[in-house]
C-alpha cells in the first residue's frame, strides 16, 4: 500500500507516529516559508504542513503541487500548535509534518470545482462525470447507495432469503413498457428483450421451491425519462411463498424503517406506516403516491355547494360531479396584487391538469372581516361556516374550489397540492414520510383499445372477497396490490400473485388476450403453474428512487454513478452511437436511418 493511514482518521492520539498518506490535493496554501496542503481521499482531509527550514526537499516538491494533483506524503503526525486547530475538520486537531512528498501524478485544471459543492451546469458534470463523482456530495450519495444495498442483502440473508440472478437477455412481452431489444446473431431476425423486471422469473423460482428469493436486479424500460426515471434502473426484487399480503408489507416496512434509522439516521415520520386505500388517497390527495410530509387534503363539499347560489356548482352537483375544497394555509394574507397573481398562477396550474377554471375565496383574518373572492357572494354565512368547519380552515387561508369529473378533480388536487406545498416549503427533504397504498382496482378501462388493462400486471391476485366481481363488474374488483410511497415518490410496489389456473384464465379475456395468445406469450408460465405452485407474493422496490429520497436529492441522476440524460444519452462516452456496417450485417440488421 502507498499509504499507512487514510486522510480522515488521524487524531491527537496518533501524535508522534510516522505515517504515509496518499490522495489528491484538495487545496494548497503557500505562505512562502511554509506551505499547507489539504490532502484528500475518500475518508477525509488532512492538513499537511511543509516547512522550508526543516525539510527543504519536501518544500520544493510542495511548491509544484496544484489542485487535484495526486501525491504521497510521508511525515510525522503532531498536535497543531495552540490556536491553529480547525474545528470544521474531523482531523483538525492534528497535522502531518511532511518529511517527503512524492508526486504520483499531475492533473489538468479541473473544469469545475471538486473541493466545493457549487452549482455546475449538468452537461459539464456529465461530460466529466468521473470528476463530478470525485466531489463530496456525489461520494456521499454513491456510498450511501452501497450501504443501503449492503443493508438489504444482510437483512434478507438473515431472513433466509436467497439471492438468485436472472437473465438480462430474455423474452419480449407485449404488455407494459416498451422493451429494449437485442438482435440475435445466431438466430437471424429474432430478438431478445432486456427485462423490465424479473417478474415472471421470480414467480418461476417460487414454483422451483426456493420460497424466499431476492435480487438486486437491473431493469430496463424504453420510455421517456423524468427526474425520477432512468431507462435502466435497479430494483430490489423479492418474492415469497406461503405468505399473505400483510406478511410482505410487514417485512418491507421493517426493512425500510431499519434502513432509515440504521443507515441514514432518520426516523420515519409515521411508524407504523399508514395504510391508505387507493380511492381515499385519490379523493384526499389526488395521487396514488401522495407526499405525506404534509396534509393539505381535498375535502368534499358537494352537498353544501349544491345548495349554494353558484350555478356551476349546483349544476355539477346535480350531475354527480364532486365539488371539493383545497386549503392553501395563510395564503390569503398576501396583498391584493400578490394575491391576484397567486390566484392566476394557481388557475394556470389547475388548467394544465384539465380544470376549466379555478374558483376561490379568502377567509378574513379576524372574525369581523368578510369572505372575499370571485365566488364568495354565492355562499351564505352558514354555508361558509360549515365549509370552514369541515376543512379545518383558519383565518387568512385561501380556499380553492375544485369541481369537475371525479378523475379531473383528482388530477387538479394533485398538482395544486404539490404546488402549494412547494410554495409554503412544506416538503422538508430531511423528513421521510412512508405510507402504503392498498386496495387498488384490479383494472382500469383502456378506452382506446376497448379493454381492461391490469393496474399492476396480469398475475396480480384479486382480493379474495372480490373474486365474484371478475364476472359481474371487473372495474370494481380490487387487487391484492400494495404500493409504498415516500415523499411523493413510488418507492415499492407488489402484490400477491395468482396461483390458481382458473382465476388466471379469467383474467386473460378481460385484458383482451385470447387463450391462444396467452399460451403463445406466457405458455412457459402457464405450463409451470401446472406443477404445484405455492401461494406466493412479492414486491419490488426502486433502489435509485429509494436512495434519492433517503439522500434528499431532487433527482435520480444524483444517486446513479453514470446516468443518462433526458434524451437517453451518455454524454461522457457518447452513447448511443452508430454501429459499424459489419456489426449490423452480422446481426442481420438494416437501419432505416441514413448513415
Chain residues binding RNA by CB under 7 A are: 27, 29-34, 36, 38, 47, 49, 51-53, 66-67, 80-81, 83-86, 88-89, 92, 95, 109, 111-113, 118-124, 126, 175-178, 196-197, 199, 221, 223-229, 352, 453-458, 555, 557, 565-567, 569, 571
Cβ of residue 288: shortest distance to RNA, in angstroms? 10
Q: To 10 degrees, the CA torsion angle through 134, 137, 140, 144? A: -120
- Rounded CA separation 72/161 (Å): 44
Give how far the C-alpha of residue 190 lies from the chain's centroid of Cα atoms, to the nearest Å.
Answer: 35
Residue 84 φ/ψ region, left for φ over 0, alpha for ψ in the -120 to 50 degree band, beta for the rest? alpha
Q: What share of the chain is helix, strand, coil (3-state, %, to 5)?
A: 35, 25, 40
Tell me the CA distances in angstroms from 246 to 105, 267, 434, 544, one per residue in order: 57, 22, 16, 25
- Grid coordinates representing 26 are 484538495
User: Residue 167 or 369: which CB sits closer to RNA?
Assistant: 167
User: Residue 229 or 506: which CB sits closer to RNA?
Assistant: 229
Residues contacting 418, CB < 8 A, separation 6+: 291, 488
Cβ of residue 542: shortest distance to RNA, in angstroms? 10
User: Residue 67 or 159: which CB sits closer to RNA?
Assistant: 67
User: Residue 304 or 358: which CB sits closer to RNA?
Assistant: 358
User: Residue 126 or 260: which CB sits closer to RNA?
Assistant: 126
Cβ of residue 397: shortest distance to RNA, in angstroms? 26
- Rounded CA separation 468/480 (Å): 15
Check: CB of residue 26 under 8 Å from CB of residue 44. Answer: no
User: Residue 78 or 321: which CB sits closer to RNA?
Assistant: 78
Cβ of residue 237: shortest distance to RNA, in angstroms? 10
Cβ of residue 498: shortest distance to RNA, in angstroms? 13
Residues contacting 206, CB < 8 A, separation 6+: 213, 239, 240, 241, 497, 533, 534, 536
User: Residue 15 or 124: which CB sits closer to RNA?
Assistant: 124
Select from 53, 15, 11 the least CA-distant residue to 34: 53
Sign of CA dihedral 196, 201, 202, 204: positive
Cβ of residue 295: shortest distance to RNA, in angstroms? 21
Cβ of residue 258: shortest distance to RNA, in angstroms? 26
Cβ of residue 235: shortest distance to RNA, in angstroms? 10
- Rounded CA separation 150/152 (Å): 5
Cβ of residue 520: shortest distance to RNA, in angstroms? 17
DSSP 370: -
User: Residue 163 or 570: which CB sits closer to RNA?
Assistant: 570
User: Residue 219 or 361: which CB sits closer to RNA?
Assistant: 219
Check: CB of residue 216 under 8 Å from CB of residue 153. Answer: yes
User: Residue 35 or 332: which CB sits closer to RNA?
Assistant: 35
Tell me the CA distances in angstroms from 58 to 33, 52, 81, 255, 264, one per residue in order: 12, 8, 20, 51, 41
User: Residue 107 or 500: which CB sits closer to RNA?
Assistant: 107
Tell me the CA distances in angstroms from 151 to 147, 213, 260, 434, 489, one per residue in order: 6, 16, 11, 19, 21
DSSP-derived pairing of the beta strands 434-438 and 275-277: parallel
Cβ of residue 215: shortest distance to RNA, in angstroms? 14
Check: CB of residue 265 under 8 Å from CB of residue 254. Answer: no
Is residue 473 packed enough to be buried (19+ CB in 10 Å), middle (13-18) or exposed (0-12)? exposed
User: Residue 225 or 526: which CB sits closer to RNA?
Assistant: 225
Angle at 195 between CA 255 and CA 210, to 5 degrees: 50
- Grid coordinates representing 201 are 422469473
Cβ of residue 130: shortest distance to RNA, in angstroms? 15
- Rounded CA separation 520/4 (Å): 62
Cβ of residue 50: shortest distance to RNA, in angstroms? 10
Amino acid at each position: 500500500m502507498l499509504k499507512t493511514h487514510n486522510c480522515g482518521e488521524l487524531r491527537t492520539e496518533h501524535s508522534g507516529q510516522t505515517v504515509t498518506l496518499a490522495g489528491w490535493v484538495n487545496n494548497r496554501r503557500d505562505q512562502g516559508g511554509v506551505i499547507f496542503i489539504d490532502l484528500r481521499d475518500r475518508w477525509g482531509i488532512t492538513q499537511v504542513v511543509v516547512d522550508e527550514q526543516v525539510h527543504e526537499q519536501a518544500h520544493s516538491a510542495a511548491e509544484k503541487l496544484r489542485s487535484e494533483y495526486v501525491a504521497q506524503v510521508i511525515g510525522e503526525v503532531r498536535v497543531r500548535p495552540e490556536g491553529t486547530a480547525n474545528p470544521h475538520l474531523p482531523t483538525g486537531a492534528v497535522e502531518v509534518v511532511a518529511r517527503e512528498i512524492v508526486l504520483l501524478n499531475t492533473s489538468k485544471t479541473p473544469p469545475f470545482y471538486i473541493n466545493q459543492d457549487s452549482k455546475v451546469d449538468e452537461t459539464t458534470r456529465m461530460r466529466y462525470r468521473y470528476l463530478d463523482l470525485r466531489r463530496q456530495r456525489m461520494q456521499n450519495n454513491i456510498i450511501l447507495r452501497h450501504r443501503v444495498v449492503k443493508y438489504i442483502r444482510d437483512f434478507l440473508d438473515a431472513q433466509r432469503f436467497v439471492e438468485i440472478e436472472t437473465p438480462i437477455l430474455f423474452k419480449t412481452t407485449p404488455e407494459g413498457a416498451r422493451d429494449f431489444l437485442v438482435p440475435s446473431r445466431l438466430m437471424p431476425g429474432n430478438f431478445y428483450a432486456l427485462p423490465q423486471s424479473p417478474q415472471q422469473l421470480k414467480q418461476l423460482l417460487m414454483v422451483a421451491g426456493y420460497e424466499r428469493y431476492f435480487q438486486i436486479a437491473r431493469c430496463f424500460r424504453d420510455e421517456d425519462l423524468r427526474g425520477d426515471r432512468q431507462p435502466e434502473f435497479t430494483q430490489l426484487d423479492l418474492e415469497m411463498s406461503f405468505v399473505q399480503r400483510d406478511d410482505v408489507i410487514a417485512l418491507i416496512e421493517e426493512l425500510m424503517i431499519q434502513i432509515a434509522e440504521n443507515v441514514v439516521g432518520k426516523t420515519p415520520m409515521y411508524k407504523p406506516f399508514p395504510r391508505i386505500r387507493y380511492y381515499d388517497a385519490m379523493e384526499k390527495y389526488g395521487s396514488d403516491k401522495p407526499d405525506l410530509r404534509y396534509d393539505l387534503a381535498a375535502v368534499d363539499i358537494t352537498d353544501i355547494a349544491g345548495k349554494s347560489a353558484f350555478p356551476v356548482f349546483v349544476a355539477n352537483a346535480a350531475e354527480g360531479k364532486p365539488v371539493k375544497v383545497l386549503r392553501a394555509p395563510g395564503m390569503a394574507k398576501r396583498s391584493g396584487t400578490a394575491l391576484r397573481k397567486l390566484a392566476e398562477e394557481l388557475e394556470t396550474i389547475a388548467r394544465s391538469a384539465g380544470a376549466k377554471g379555478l374558483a376561490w375565496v379568502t377567509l378574513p383574518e379576524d372574525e369581523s372581516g368578510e369572505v372575499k373572492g370571485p365566488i364568495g357572494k354565492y355562499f351564505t354565512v352558514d354555508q361558509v361556516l360549515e365549509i370552514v368547519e369541515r376543512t379545518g380552515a383558519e383565518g387568512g387561508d385561501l380556499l380553492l374550489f375544485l369541481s369537475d369529473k371525479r378523475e379531473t378533480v383528482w388530477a387538479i388536487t394533485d398538482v395544486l397540492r404539490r404546488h402549494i406545498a412547494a410554495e409554503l416549503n412544506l416538503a422538508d427533504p430531511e423528513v421521510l414520510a412512508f405510507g402504503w397504498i392498498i386496495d387498488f382496482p384490479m383494472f382500469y378501462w383502456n378506452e382506446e383499445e376497448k379493454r381492461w388493462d391490469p393496474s399492476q400486471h396480469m398475475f396480480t391476485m384479486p382480493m379474495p372477497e372480490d373474486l365474484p366481481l371478475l364476472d359481474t363488474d371487473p372495474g370494481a374488483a380490487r387487487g391484492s396490490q400494495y404500493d409504498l410511497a415516500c415523499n411523493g415518490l413510488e418507492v415499492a410496489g407488489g402484490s400477491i400473485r395468482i396461483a390458481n389456473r382458473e382465476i388466471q384464465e379469467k383474467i386473460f379475456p378481460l385484458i383482451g388476450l385470447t387463450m391462444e395468445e396467452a399460451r403463445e406469450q406466457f405458455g412457459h408460465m402457464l405450463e409451470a403453474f401446472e406443477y404445484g405452485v405455492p401461494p406466493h407474493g412479492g414486491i419490488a422496490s426502486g433502489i435509485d428512487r429509494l436512495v434519492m429520497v433517503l439522500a434528499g436529492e431532487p433527482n435520480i441522476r444524483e444517486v446513479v454513478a453514470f446516468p443518462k440524460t433526458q434524451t437517453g444519452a451518455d454524454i461522457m462516452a457518447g452513447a448511443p452511437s452508430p454501429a459499424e456496417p459489419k456489426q449490423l450485417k452480422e446481426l442481420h440488421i438494416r437501419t432505416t436511418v441514413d448513415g
